[in-house]
Amino acid sequence: MNYRLYLFDFDYTLVNSEAAIVKCFHITLKKLGYEDVPDERIKKTIGLPILDAVKIIIPTEDDKEARHFLDNYRPEADRYMTPGTTFFPGAVETLRAIKATGAKIGIISNKTHRRIQEKFDVDHVPELIDLIIGSDDVKSHKPEPTGLLRAIEHFGVKKSDVLYTGDSWVDAETAQNAGVDFLAVTTGTTPAADFAKYPHIAILDSIADLKGCLKA
């Protein structure tokens, strides 16, 4: 692989925030008097815009109810999210290897910008990321391609020089909608077989496997 711009999803792609997200949902459900839900139901919403995830978990179609839940979820996330989020093995080393090729790195995620930046700051590796576009940086969220297209414009590269890596159908559709190459990793809840219907250059077991595919 010899791209000029490597863009990544965040949750379940570079990091495992599963335990923290599940914990924050359980606490908020209990706090507001909702019936609890199985962990697996929560895990399947990871990567979706948070308001969409809330509507699935509660469940509701009412924006006001979902936003009220989210207002109560955020203080729990402030307390537990970053401490409960860990980089997947080899993720940091892979990002370093990409930087060594001279390529740029960005994150396009449905998570908030602040939360993503905080993780890189806490782990003392902010220099590995050239651009973050979180859910609060755009009006339309993945699988809409707004974030990807903004990153491409920001760096002034051709779409053929861009690779987007993610763990879910949301990421696959985002890359497809933006017209860029897609690399799938199976560290999320989407099995490899589900990526077959989307254009992709490869399906890897983890982000660490990308390091061996890079061209110096």
Sketch out the chain's domains with CATH numbers. 5-16+86-213 (3.40.50.1000), 18-80 (1.10.150.240)
With 80 as the cut, is the pLDDT of residue 39 above it? yes
With 80 as the cut, is the pLDDT of residue 37 above it? yes
CB neighbour list of residue 143: distance below 8 Å, 6 or more residues apart: 169, 170, 171, 173, 174, 177
Which pLDDT belongs to residue 80?
Answer: 97
The Cα–Cα gap between 207 and 216 comes to 18
pLDDT tens column, 81-111: 999 999 999 999 999 999 999 999 999 999 9
pTM value? 0.95
With 70 as the cut, is the pLDDT of residue 169 above it? yes
Classify each residue of 127-147 as buried b or exposed e, where b means 16 or more C-beta atoms within 10 Å of its C-beta: ebbbbbbbbebbeebbbbbbb
The Cα–Cα gap between 162 and 175 comes to 10
Which pLDDT belongs to residue 66?
Answer: 97
User: Do residues 205 and 188 lie in contact, with contact meaning Cβ atoms separated by under 8 Å?
Assistant: no
